[in-house]
């Protein structure tokens, strides 16, 4: 017998879209919307089976590549008027769902799914106190309706009394990112809302992609670093394995390890140093090669580090740099804490799916193939566009760093 499946995520992803053709295969931060949804489900660590329901061959192939089980959706429930619930019902019929206690509807049109909130929502439904948890964002705006005879009429407020934000009752907007539901209730009623319903307050951006404008906004939030960073960068911190290297090591008969690095990355670091941008290599790896490479590049290094977020925070404090003005470049789970601290969390193109949802920028190059140089070039463009850091050392020799 197979493992018991207790939580199933269903990602509906039709091939047709009138507002934005090929919408579900559009890319944000280097990943398709389908892949980003799968990444978030995997990163939650709370879902036993992820399925993508589609009528489109390319989407089904992308789903499988991202690590989900593709399920072909019948044409009868693939049209413009078909509900997401119908896709969930069909998907559940295609899997052995006798042991499923939570079903999650995940919509890939929300490119910034909060994996932590998703995991917490599934836990709340499993706990038995609630039946449905839906992704939501706090809402503080005044809503109006327009009537041809009466004019504008306040909906969620009395227009004759302008309340302060703190005096108004809490309101929440449904973001559409996910809906965690008790399997029994959904199977009986066939609808995503029933019983005791509560919101899950998500920290991630609340964008739902329906048209090109929405996609453009999402892409501006997670730009490849080939474009300028939108604000000046005052420090760059990088992981080592998987960022300066391709994450591989050779081992000789005596157990000695060696790695390959990219000379272009070395030139990028040299350029940052000449511009007066402090650089730190921060790694959990204990191999002396990390410190030796950092020494050759002439940059700070902390290796064999068990608590990278604390080390990062301390180094930034010592250098007088605001985390908001910092780029951190990572590639795997042990970089998550640092990516959450800085203003410009950046990952390499082949980063592990568990950290993709944290990235604000993604390199076009993979680790060990010029990704660090790509970041360095983008940082220097941001400095030129916004003005140099007054503390920068402009006199350092261009030959001071070996690459």
State yes or no: pLDDT of 370 exceeds 70.
Answer: yes
User: What's the rounded mean pLDDT across residues 72-100?
Assistant: 87
pTM, rounded to two decimals = 0.64
CA distance 117 to 200: 6
User: What's the rounded mean pLDDT across residues 299-327?
Assistant: 95
CA distance 338 to 228: 21
Examine the domain organization and report whether 210 and 246 are in the same domain.
no
Residue 102 lies in a domain: yes
Examine the domain organization and report whether 372 and 247 are in the same domain.
yes
Residue 376 lies in a domain: yes
**How does residue 398 score in pLDDT terms, banded at 50, 70 and 90?**
very low
Q: Which residues pair with 171 in a beta bridge?
A: 139
CA 266 to chain centre: 28
Structure confidence at residue 198 (pLDDT)? 96
Q: Which of 366, 371, 341 shows the shortest CA–CA distance to 269?
A: 371
Examine the domain organization and report whether 257 and 186 are in the same domain.
no
State yes or no: pLDDT of 14 exceeds 50.
Answer: yes
Last residue of a domain, one of 221, 248, 280: 221
Structure confidence at residue 399 (pLDDT)? 33
**How does residue 79 score in pLDDT terms, banded at 50, 70 and 90?**
confident
CA distance 13 to 78: 9
Structure confidence at residue 124 (pLDDT)? 95
**How does residue 401 score in pLDDT terms, banded at 50, 70 and 90?**
very low
Give the CATH number for residue 369: 3.40.50.1000
Residue 65 lies in a domain: yes
Q: Which of 347, 369, 330 shows the shortest CA–CA distance to 29?
A: 347
Last residue of a domain, one of 221, 254, 271: 221
CA distance 295 to 47: 43
Q: Can you give the residue range of the structural domain that contains 247?
A: 235-386
What would the pLDDT profile of 115-170 be if each residue is shown by its tens digit?
999 999 999 999 999 999 999 998 888 888 998 888 898 888 887 788 777 777 77
Q: Which residues pair with 329 in a beta bridge?
A: 238, 346
CB count in 10 Å sphere of residue 152: 10
Residue 399 lies in a domain: no
Structure confidence at residue 294 (pLDDT)? 93
Examine the domain organization and report whether 306 and 180 are in the same domain.
no
Residue 194 lies in a domain: yes
Looking at the 3D structure of the chain, how many domains does it have?
A: 2
Residue 120 lies in a domain: yes
CA distance 269 to 263: 10
Structure confidence at residue 49 (pLDDT)? 95
What would the pLDDT profile of 126-135 be if each residue is shown by its tens digit?
999 999 999 9
User: What's the rounded mean pLDDT across residues 32-38?
Assistant: 92
Examine the domain organization and report whether 169 and 52 are in the same domain.
yes
CB count in 10 Å sphere of residue 313: 15
Q: What percent of the chain has pLDDT over 70?
A: 92
Examine the domain organization and report whether 162 and 241 are in the same domain.
no
């Amino acid at each position: 017998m197979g493992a018991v499946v207790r939580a199933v995520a269903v990602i509906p992803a039709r091939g047709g879209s009138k507002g934005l053709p090929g919408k579900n295969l559009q890319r944000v931060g280097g990943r398709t919307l389908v892949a980003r949804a799968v990444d978030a489900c995997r990163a939650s660590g709370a879902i036993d089976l992820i399925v993508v329901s589609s009528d489109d061959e390319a989407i089904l192939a992308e789903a499988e590549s991202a690590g989900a089980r593709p399920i072909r959706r019948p044409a009868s429930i693939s049209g413009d008027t078909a509900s997401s619930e119908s896709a969930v019902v069909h998907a559940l019929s295609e899997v052995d769902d006798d042991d499923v206690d939570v079903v999650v509807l995940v919509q890939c049109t929300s490119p910034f799914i909060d994996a932590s909130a998703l995991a917490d929502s599934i836990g709340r439904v499993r706990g038995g106190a609630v039946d449905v948890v839906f992704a939501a964002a706090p809402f503080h705006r005044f809503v109006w309706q327009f009537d041809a005879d009466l004019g504008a009429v306040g909906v969620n407020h009395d227009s004759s009394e302008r309340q302060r934000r703190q005096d108004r009752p809490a309101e929440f907007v449904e973001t559409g990112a996910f809906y965690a539901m008790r399997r029994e209730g959904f199977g009986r009623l066939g609808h995503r809302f029933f019983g005791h319903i509560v919101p899950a307050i998500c920290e991630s951006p609340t964008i739902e992609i329906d048209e090109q404008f929405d996609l453009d906004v999402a892409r501006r939030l997670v730009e490849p670093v080939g474009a300028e960073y939108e604000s000046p960068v005052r420090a760059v911190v990088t992981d080592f394995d998987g960022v300066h290297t391709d994450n591989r090591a050779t081992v000789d008969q005596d157990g000695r390890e060696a790695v390959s690095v990219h000379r272009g990355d070395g030139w990028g670091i040299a350029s940052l140093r000449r511009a007066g941008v402090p650089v730190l290599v921060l790694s959990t790896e204990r191999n002396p090669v990390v410190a030796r490479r950092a020494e050759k590049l002439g940059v700070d290094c902390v290796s064999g580090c068990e608590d990278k977020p604390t080390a990062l925070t301390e180094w930034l404090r010592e250098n007088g740099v605001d985390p908001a003005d910092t780029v951190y470049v990572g590639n795997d789970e042990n970089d998550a804490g640092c990516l959450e601290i800085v203003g410009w969390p950046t990952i390499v193109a082949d980063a592990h799916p568990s950290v993709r949802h944290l990235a604000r920028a993604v390199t076009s190059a993979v680790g060990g193939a010029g990704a660090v140089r790509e970041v360095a070039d983008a940082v220097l463009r941001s400095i030129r566009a916004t003005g140099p850091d007054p503390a920068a050392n402009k006199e350092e020799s261009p030959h001071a760093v070996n690459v």
